[in-house]
Structures are given as structure tokens and as C-alpha cells.
Structure 1
Amino acid sequence: MRGIKRRGTTRRVRAALSAAVVVCAVTAAALTAATAATDTAAAVAATPAAATPAPTVAAVEGLDVGVERISVATDEGYGAASITPDGRSIVFRSLKNVGGPGGDEVYVRDRSAGRTRTEPIVEGWTPAISGDGRQVAATTPAQGMSTQRIRQHSVDLGILPFSCGRCNEPSLSADGRYLAFGVVDYISHNRRVLVADREGGYQTIAHLGSGAPARPSISGDGRYVAYQDLSYQKEGVHLWDRATGTTSGPLEGPDTYASLVQLSDDGGKVVYLSGSDTYVHDVGTGTAQRVPNVKGVAVDPTGRYLLYAPHGTSGPSLVLRDLRTGADEAVSGQPATAEVDSVSAGGRDVVVQSAADGIVPGDTNGKPDVFVRRFF
């Protein structure tokens, strides 16, 4: 999640785009050498640090309205894309199967400059990018092992080591200082949710009785972390507050099961799924807005625009809703999916994946590609 101030928008959308994105919300933060050497399995709680103010992000101008193909490097197939709040940079991964060490699987497209750079992250599952576009991270297999680890690359500092066993699901604050992630214990196979500070130290913010994904999602300033607990008879979504050191939840109530979609950058909205409906929980009021019979897949950084997939309809497969006005805009008229961090601030851009040919001229490789739809 990345920090952003709310801003009003006018919407002019009249197009449909086919896409399918397979992505987990991932991000990562740089750690000091001493911190990187600490295995998370032995990490202890640290005193909460003061939250870093979320930066103001302005949308990048000069980009054309319409559809742009992002994965222009090769024709091997791409997916798992995330976009920065200003819509300038998009991180995505290659879908090729790279055996053993070697190979560049993670890419960043700078839309303003028209350049794509590769990041030295091997087999970069679920890549993510910081709000300022300065850091990229992904969950990768540890070499020679079946366990996972988080690997991060900084434009300024190069590869940043992060030592942890069975760690995954990273989520990065706006400036890359705070990293929320899940780790599965070796013996019990239960999961914990931790927050690492690039200036040193870890905090364990939740002990879960299940190895199921916790899907932590951190706010832009690093103050809040939302996560899901899918333990038996404990299914629910929770919200941790760095400032108070307390956790609230389950947000959906004690008698309703839910799974997390995403936390908005300001920490004010938590999107979760329950039954066949999507809910947008307002942290300030404690109330939830119900969006019936849809599967929410992402929320824009301001918390105003919800990207969702309708259930069982013959209409658009991806729709962007203005939660304030209730207005819907079709994103994709063909079978499509998307994931978290796929919508820029104010719902201006939506990044998707599609295997369909003909979305843009010259896309005839017959493999999944990453596209971005700019609405206005």
C-alpha cells in the first residue's frame, strides 16, 4: 500500500479490455545489514516506531487515454502486475519457468519514459513496487530449498538481502521503510504476521493458528496493517494500529466469516469478502458499505474506487465503481481478473493481464500480456 491524498476526479470511460491477472499483494522494505541477518523465525517484538507521514502523489500527466501494452520486452508471457499511485510505474513478472538460479523474471515499466528495466530477482513470484517507484520486491524460492523468502531490489542500493525462512506475502509502505509479511513456522506450520523496519527491528503483530495465507496489507505511512485469520472457527479480518499497539477485529463481526482484499493507503478503508458480497469497512466510523453479489479485487489508494468482478453475469468481467456516487465503469468486457494494487489514485489507471490477441495492434503472441487502461 502506498500513501496518497484523496482527490476528486471526473470519469470518461467507454471501452472494454480483456485481462487476467494472477497476483498476490506483495511488497518489501530495505533492511539494515544487522536486521537482514536476523532470521524471522527467531525475531522478537520491537518497540513501535513513529509512523512516517505518507507522501503526496500527483498523477503523471502526458500519458494517453486508452489501452497500453506494458509487457513489451519479449513474447514469453507476463502477469502479476502492480501500479504506483501516480500511474507512472508498473511492476510485473514473467510467466516463464526458470529452472535453478539465474534469469530475470521481474520487470518495471516506466510509462513516462517509455522504458522497461529488469530487476535481478530470480523467479519473482507476486512482485510489488513501492509508491515512489524506488523499490521492487518479490517472494522467491530459496536456492536449493522448497521454502520461500522475500528478495528486494532498490534502484539506489541494488539487491537488499532479507534473511527469513518460509517468509512470503510482503507488503510495503510508501517509502519502503516498513515491510509487513507472513511467515510459516517450521514445526507447527502456523503462521505469524510481522512488520520489519528498515531502520532496524521486527514486530510480531499476530500469531495465527493456521498456515493459510494471512495476506497482510500495510498502509502508506506504515501505521496500519490489515490481515486475515483463516483458522478454524476464527475466520475474519483484523486491523493492527502501530500508534496504539492494538488490534481490532474481526471487522466483519463475530458471527460472519470474511477474507481480506486490501487496505487503502491512508488506512481508512478495509475491503473484504464475505459470502457472495464485498464490504468496504470505514475504520473511522466502524461501519461497512456492502457491494452485493460481486467479488472485490482491488481498491484505489484513496479508498474511493473499487475494482470488482461481478458474479455470474454475461456483462463486463471487471468493473470500477465509484463508492461515493455508485457509478460503475466497465474495465473489461471479456473474461478477466485483477488483483490488489492494480488501480492508481482516483481510479485513473487499471493494470490487467490478458491472453487475448488484438487488444492493441501487434499483440499476436497468443500468450498473456500486461496492459494498462487509462480512463482520463
Structure 2
Amino acid sequence: MRGKFRSMLLAVAASACATTLLAPTGALAAPNGPEKAEESSVRRVTEGANGPSGDASVSANGRYVVFGSSADNLVPDDTNAVPDVFLHDLRTRRTTRVSLTADGAQAAYGGSAPVISAAGRYVVFRSRGLVQDQGQEEGQEQYGYFRRDLRTGATERVGGPDDLYPQDSGALVGASVSADGRYVSFTARQTRTGRPGHRTAVRDLRTGELTVLESPWASEAHLSDDGRRLVHWESVPAPVQHPPSRVFLLDLRSGESRRLDVAADGSTTTARSGYPAISGNGRVAAFSSWATDLVPGEDPNGAQHDIFVTDLRTGAIRRLDAPLAQGWSTAPSVSRDGRYVVFGFTPSGTTWGTTHLYRTDLRTGRTTPVSHAPDGTPAAATTGERPLDAHGRTIVFSSADGGLAPGTPSPGGDVYVRTLR
């Protein structure tokens, strides 16, 4: 599942046509459970770290991984005693720190929740006080998302809770970035006054323009690579949940919005849906839902959370059946070419949060384990924003299971990279 690194810290261009991938409407079956792992390799990115690491994101070419870590021995002179954001080059195996001030100094508040642009030039992350905003009082340290240019070192503030709740305060809960780093979406949760809500905005860092979505519940937003399409979840808080949580696609250029948890005949489900994702090419969206009425036929795992995949050009929708008969599937991520979906699965009878990762090939229907030990035993794992490379072969994730790769595990969990061939 995405965005679980915070709880871990507290606890210790497309060659395939999406129409071909997704048609016909129906379920992608896995009648015999997940297949054995394809030929693959897995290694620990944070080898030797003395603290937990997570929230990993990978560039489109599968070379650069960004992640958050509370370890202080990944780079020299890490003395700020707070989590930081790091970049690891999988080719050279060199790790550098990203969460730095505009002049390249160590950041007093560090950084967290990173996402890397497709080309690997920009990293967006959450921090405080990295730049002095115009009109900001001396000593005032604004909280928000920042974008760092890894080529030039330039760092600028994208936005924060004050942009979405000017009369209140809020907590930042997620960001996404276009391939060229120009557009960044971010979400804040209202925390103090009135009924809790979420607001989402998109910043054009070339013009400075801020577009705030109209919905007072918009959360879990993800941009396509060109920054034009954005999927989001209208997360209506419990216990009211009226209307139930739903997922939408917004065209930021035309302003057109459409609901995605819709059956092929146009009927809308009354079940709760959420955790949307979109491919980099903007052709494929995925989300999780309790719905049993979005596709025809019997659902093998009954009224449980399933993953649904929509072809955004044709409207065709499919269900990715769970790798086992009983359990919950949630929090999908889609490769930039739209062919692969990585998702979390919690088997029935296990503790919620014991999530195993799988990858489904939308062209063949084959489901492959991702977070599994060499002996095939599944391990609990989590993903960050954009955990797959362009073609879905390189997958980054975090896990506290030290048996996933050779070497000494880090206390609290490591970042891993699995390469499927």
C-alpha cells in the first residue's frame, strides 16, 4: 500500500495499445492463484542503513530511486537527527541526499514523502523552511512541498496547507509530479476547524499558476506524465460517508471531470471506491473498490476489495481478480506504458496492513509475486508514489522482512528493488 512509511517510522513511452491490453470487458482471472515468480533479481538499496527507510519512487528508465530514511549513515555529515530524502543511483550504487536547502546546506527539518520525475531530474518532497518565500517574515519557516532540480541544485516551494486552507491549518498527505517536473499536484487535509476534508491543487511551476480542485474531498491525486490528466479520490470521512467514496478523472486543460467507478453500461456503483492511479501515458487508470456490480460475472473472492482497471479511451473496465480466493486487493500503481499494475493484497485471516505485493500483466493476465523471499514466502511490503519504471520491469518497495535479499537488514525496514525479466 502507498504512503505507509510514516507508520513504519512510528512503529520502529508506450509500445502497447491500451485498447489491446484491456479489451474485452470482464475480469482478468487468476484461477490457480499467482504464478511462480518470473526470472528476477532483488537487492537491498539501503544496505547498511542504521534506521528505517521507505516511500520509494523510481525514474522511468529504472536507474534512479528516491526514498525517505531516518538513517544518519547513508551520507557523510548527516547530523540533523531527522528523516531525510535520498537518491540512489542503481548503476553506480551511489547515494546522495536530496533534502537540502536552496544553498545546498543540510536542512534542519529534513524531508519526507518523495517522488521523482520520469526523467530523474526533479524530486518533489515534503519539508519546512528550505527557501525564503517573497513576503515571508524573517525566521518564518513555511511547511510544504518543495521541488529540487538535481541538475542545477535549484530548490523552490510548490505549495502547502496555507494555499488550500488559508484560515486553518492542515497536514500534507501526498504529491505527484509530471514527467518534465513542470506540474505538481499536492493534497492537504483540514485538521482544526469544521468537518475534516481534503483539498487538492496543481501548481504550474513555469507560470506559478495554482489550480485548486473544486471538490472539498479530493485526495490521493496522481498526474499523467504530461500533467494534463489527474485521477483523484473523493474521500468522504467516516462515519457519514455520504456520498460514498468515489474516483474521478479530471482533464486539467478542458476542466472536464468524469467518474471512473462506473460499469460498462454506464451505471454507477453505490460501493466505496478509492486509491486511484494512472499510467504515465494517461491511457489507463486503476482503483480499488468494494463494488460487485462494475463487471459481469461472479467475483471469486466475494464482496472484498478488488482492483479495477479502466481503458480511458474506450471506457472498458476490468477486474483484476485477487491472487488468492480470500483477501483484499488495494492501492494499485500503473506502469508508465499502461501495461502493468502493481497492487497490495492482504490475505484473509492476517492482520490488516500485512500486505503482499503482486504485479499483473494486463496483456497476458499473468500475476507475479513481487515482495517474496527467495524460497517463495510472501513478505509484507509497501510502495510509494510511482514505484514502477516505464515498462514495469523495475519495482521499488519497502519491507521490514530482512530475508528478501542477501546482506544485513536495517532496523525498521529497508528499500528494495526487484527487477523482473
Please report the TM-score for the alignment, with normalisation by the length of structure 2: 0.67
| Aligned residue type for 2:390 | A
2:184 corresponds, among 173, 179, 184, to 179
State the match for 2:94 in structure 1: 115
Q: Which amino acid aligns with 1:373?
A: R
Residue 204 of structure 1: how far off its partner (Å):
3.1
Structure 2 residue 90 is the aligned partner of structure 1 residue 136: no
| Residue 281 (structure 2) pairs with residue 266 (structure 1) | yes
Q: Do the aligned partners of residues 192 and 365 (structure 1) sit closer, same or farther apart at CA in structure 2, a change above 3 Å counting? A: closer
Instruction: Give deviations 1:264-287, integer Å, cap 9, x for gaps.
Output: 111111111111111011111112
286-295 vs 106-115, which moves further: 286-295
Partner Cα separation in structure 1 for residue 279 and residue 312 of structure 2: 10
Larger displacement relative to structure 2 (114-123 or 143-152): 143-152
Q: How many residues align?
A: 318
Aligned to 1:35: none
Larger mean CA deviation between 299-308 and 120-129 belongs to 120-129
- Aligned with 2:144 (options 141, 149, 165): 149
After TM superposition, give the deviation of residue 322 of structure 1 in Å: 0.7
Distance 1:147 1:292, change over 3 A: farther
> Deviation per CA, 1:65-98, whole angstroms, max 9, x where unpaired?
511221136322211101112110100111459x
Against the structure 1 CA distance between its residues 338 and 146, is the aligned structure 2 distance closer, same or farther, given a 3 Å change threshold?
A: farther
Q: 5, 16, 23: which one pairs with 2:14? A: 5
Give the stretch that moved more between structures: 327-336 or 262-271.
327-336
Can you give the 5+ residue segments of structure 2 that lack an aligned partner in the other structure? 1-12, 18-34, 73-78, 101-108, 131-138, 163-169, 263-267, 291-304, 323-328
Task: State whether structure 2 residue 252 is matched by structure 1 residue 242.
Answer: yes
CA contact (8 A) 1:356 1:367 kept: no
Give me the whole-angstrom Cα distance separating, in 1, the residues matched to 2:57 and 2:43.
Answer: 15
| Of 58, 71, 80, the match for 2:55 | 80
Cα distance change, pair 151–304 in 1 and its aligned pair in 2 (3 A): same
Distance 1:92 1:305, change over 3 A: same
Q: What is the SS of the residue equivalent to 2:391?
A: helix
Partner residue of 2:232 out of 216, 219, 227: 227
User: Is contact 2:174–2:220 with CA below 8 Å preserved after alignment?
Assistant: yes
Q: Per-residue CA shift, 1:107-127, capped at 9, x if unaligned? A: 101112221111125442211
Change (3 A) 1:147 1:354: same
Matches within 5 A, 1:1-376: 4-6=13-15, 15=37, 66-72=41-47, 74-95=49-70, 103=82, 105-121=84-100, 122-140=109-127, 148-155=143-150, 156-164=152-160, 165=162, 166=170, 167-184=172-189, 188=194, 190-210=197-217, 214-231=219-236, 232-234=241-243, 235-252=245-262, 253=268, 255-275=270-290, 276-293=305-322, 294-312=329-347, 317-331=356-370, 332=372, 333-339=377-383, 340-376=385-421
Work out the CA distance in 2 between the residues paired with 1:140 and 1:200: 22
Measure, in 1, the Cα distance between the counterparts of 2:288 and 2:420. 26
Contact 2:399 2:415 (8 Å CA) reproduced: yes
CA distance in 2, matches of 1:285, 1:312: 33
2:341 maps to a residue whose letter is L
What is the alpha-carbon distance in structure 1 between the residues aligned to residue 225 and residue 64 of structure 2? 17
- Offset at 1:298? 1.8
Identity of aligned residues (%): 25
CA displacement at 1:254 relative to structure 2: 5.1
TM-score (norm 1): 0.75
* Distance of 2:307 and 2:143 partners within structure 1: 31
Residues 145 and 273 of structure 1: CA distance in aligned 2, closer, same or farther (over 3 Å): farther
Specify the code of the residue in structure 1 equivalent to 2:345: P
Instruction: Give the CA deviation at 1:262.
Output: 1.1
Secondary structure at the aligned position of 2:344 is classed as strand
* Corresponding letter in the other structure for 2:230: V
Tell me, yes or no, if the aligned pair for 1:351 and 1:372 is still in contact at 8 Å. yes
Given that 1:71 and 1:371 are in contact with CA atoms closer than 8 Å, whether structure 2 keeps it comes out as yes
CA distance in structure 2 between the partners assigned to 1:285 and 1:374 by the alignment: 31
Equivalent-residue separation in structure 2 for 1:130 and 1:264 (angstroms): 13
| Kept in 2: contact 1:84–1:129 (CA 8 A) | yes
Give the secondary structure class of the aligned counterpart of 2:368.
Answer: strand
Tell me the SS of whatever aligns to 1:162: strand
Bigger radius of gyration:
2
Q: Distance in 1 between matches of 2:380 and 2:71?
A: 20
Matched letter for residue 5 of structure 1: A
CA distance in 1, matches of 2:320, 2:36: 23
Q: Deviations over 1:122-175 (max 9, x none)?
A: 442211111111111212356999995112221114322335324542210000
Whether the 8 Å CA contact 2:158–2:184 is kept in 1: the answer is: no
State how far apart, in whole Å, the 1-side matches of 2:219 and 2:111 are: 19
CA distance, structure 2, for counterparts of residue 7 and residue 117 of structure 1? 35
Q: How far apart in 1 are the matches of 2:82 and 2:331?
A: 34
Task: Name structure 1 gaps, 5 residues minimum.
Answer: 17-63
Paired with 2:65 and 2:369, the residues of 1 have a C-alpha distance of 21
Once the two structures are TM-superposed, the CA of residue 184 in structure 1 deviates from its matched residue by 4.4
Q: Could you say which residue in structure 2 is the equivalent of 1:52?
A: none
| Displacement after TM superposition at 1:358 (Å) | 4.0
Pick which of 69-78 and 268-277 moved more.
69-78
- Given residue 157 of structure 2, which amino acid in structure 1 is its aligned partner? P
